[in-house]
Amino acid sequence: MTTTNTTHALHDAATPATPSFLQSSWLVAEREVRMKLRSKAFLISTGILMLVVLGSILIGGLVGGNEEATKVAVTGDSAAAVQGQQGLDVTEVATAEEAEALVRAGDVVAAILPDDSTALGIIVVADSETPTGLLQQLSITPPVALLDGDAQNPFLAYLVAIAFGVVFFASAMTFGSTIAQSVVEEKQTRVVEILMSAVPVRALLAGKVLGNSILAFGQIAMITALAIIGLTITGQSELLSVLGAPVLWFVVFFVLGFVLLAALFAATGSMVSRVEDIGSTTTPVTMLVMIPYFLVIFFYDNPVVLGIMSYVPFSAPVGMPVRLFLGDAQWWEPLLSLVILAVTALGTIVLGSKIYENSLLKLGGTVKWRDALTH
């Protein structure tokens, strides 16, 4: 009896425990992340993307903040005419002759001197040509009252819409196509048969989606951090405060939206046996990524189109953050949209895992949708 128990104990100790579904998924995810981080092309493209994001913010802030003030000379009697004027570098001198001397020397653009013969009581003295820019700065304009004071600048709204659209489009296409290509390569080289002997098929799919999702989320986090640093360095704190909440919502929506698309890319990639045939099955998924990108560019100021986009799962990661930036969404709308997206993502994962499981070992031609969806 004792010998039998000892034999069983030794057998159990020698036999490694079968990894659980979560452990298997994490092993595959780690493999995906390591392979990607060893790719020079991925690291270089990521570095270039980060530099472009940071550079565009820094250049925009520096160009906007480094506008040279117009240099003018005034006397004590004409100083009141430029008091409170923005964009002027004022040099006060004792006499009109000293002011004119500064103009002739090129030290100032013009001199603003008192002149009782004019309606405004001042005269602008320049050297050889009329300082049009200075005259525009000195123009008297009435105060303006805006009926919609909370409305965003149209050009800024357009830039923000493009930014959300480009980031989602680029990340989804880059990592989505990577997932599909990885699945096909493993299927074509029969590596998938070795992997399937070690981990369940669904764990293999979950690991691929998880690993590439981690990389995509890492890129988004880095872009967000660089944007915050760039806006802070260039003194664009006001824009940063306006963008804060929409960017956070964009990250949340991106997480679920990317998982949804990643599952579809993996599933459709498993339906072909050659890398050259990927486009035949992944094109519908690619269109689901491209349509929101073009819609937000052409209809960023259309509340009806944006309203529809914010509730359609494939376009919600772009449409809802843009609406939040524009101030067109009620507080409960992003929550409802997020629930719809989460339910859709869950259903897509279930559907994608079925297609993936039914197609992965079928070699030769392209697996038909009917065969992929049924045993």
Render pLDDT for 45-64 as a digit per residue (tens, 0 to 9): 888 878 877 777 777 666 55
Indicate whether 209 pLDDT > 60. Answer: yes
Q: What is the DSSP letter of 20?
A: -
If one counts every other C-beta atom within 10 angstroms of the C-beta of residue 263, the result is: 29
**Both 184 and 302 in a single domain?**
yes
**Both 263 and 114 in a single domain?**
no
Task: Give yes or no for a contact between 58 and 226, defined as CB atoms under 8 angstroms apart.
Answer: no
**Both 272 and 127 in a single domain?**
no
Residue 261: per-residue pLDDT:
92
- Give the tens place of pLDDT for each residue, 334-360: 999 999 999 999 999 889 889 998 888
**Both 125 and 239 in a single domain?**
no
The answer to which of 28-32, 193-197, 202-206 has the lowest mean pLDDT is 193-197
Residue 267: per-residue pLDDT:
92
**Both 269 and 126 in a single domain?**
no
Indicate whether 180 pLDDT > 80. Answer: yes
If one counts every other C-beta atom within 10 angstroms of the C-beta of residue 53, the result is: 19
**Both 32 and 102 in a single domain?**
no
Give the chain's domain count: 2
Which among 161, 157, 212, 248 is positioned nearest to 28, based on CA atoms? 212
Rounded Cα distance, 116 and 120, in Å: 8
**Both 278 and 356 in a single domain?**
yes
Report CA Rg, the chain. Answer: 31
Residue 206 placed within a domain: yes
Residue 349 placed within a domain: yes
Residue 3 placed within a domain: no
Indicate whether 5 pLDDT > 60. Answer: no
When pLDDT is cut at 50, 70 and 90, the band that residue 141 belongs to is: very low
Which amino acid type is present at position 104? Answer: R
Residue 16 placed within a domain: no
Interhelix angle for 40-65 vs 21-37, to 10°?
70
Residue 36 placed within a domain: yes
Q: pTM of the entire structure?
A: 0.72
Rounded Cα distance, 367 and 356, in Å: 11
Beta bridge partners of 114: 122
Task: Give yes or no for a contact between 297 and 161, defined as CB atoms under 8 angstroms apart.
Answer: yes
Rounded Cα distance, 126 and 111, in Å: 7
**Both 94 and 214 in a single domain?**
no
Q: Which of 138, 162, 178 is the last residue of a domain?
A: 138
Classify strands 88-92 and 70-74 as parallel, antiparallel or unpaired. Answer: parallel
- CA separation, residue 168 to residues 62, 267, 315 (Å): 27, 20, 10
Q: Which of 111, 138, 165 is the last residue of a domain?
A: 138
**Domain ranges, residue 345:** 24-61+154-373
Residues of the chain with pLDDT > 70, as a percent, come to: 84
**Both 353 and 314 in a single domain?**
yes
- Chain Cα centroid distance, residue 5: 61
**Both 117 and 159 in a single domain?**
no
When pLDDT is cut at 50, 70 and 90, the band that residue 223 belongs to is: confident
Residue 34 placed within a domain: yes
**Both 178 and 122 in a single domain?**
no
Q: Which of 79, 113, 138 is the last residue of a domain?
A: 138
Rounded Cα distance, 118 and 113, in Å: 11
Burial tier of 149 (Cβ tally within 10 Å: 0-12, 13-18, 19+): exposed
**Both 343 and 282 in a single domain?**
yes
Residues with Cβ within 8 Å of 75's Cβ and at least 6 positions away in sequence, in order, are 92, 93, 94, 95, 96, 99, 113, 114
Rounded Cα distance, 184 and 270, in Å: 6
Residue 162 placed within a domain: yes
Residue 9 placed within a domain: no
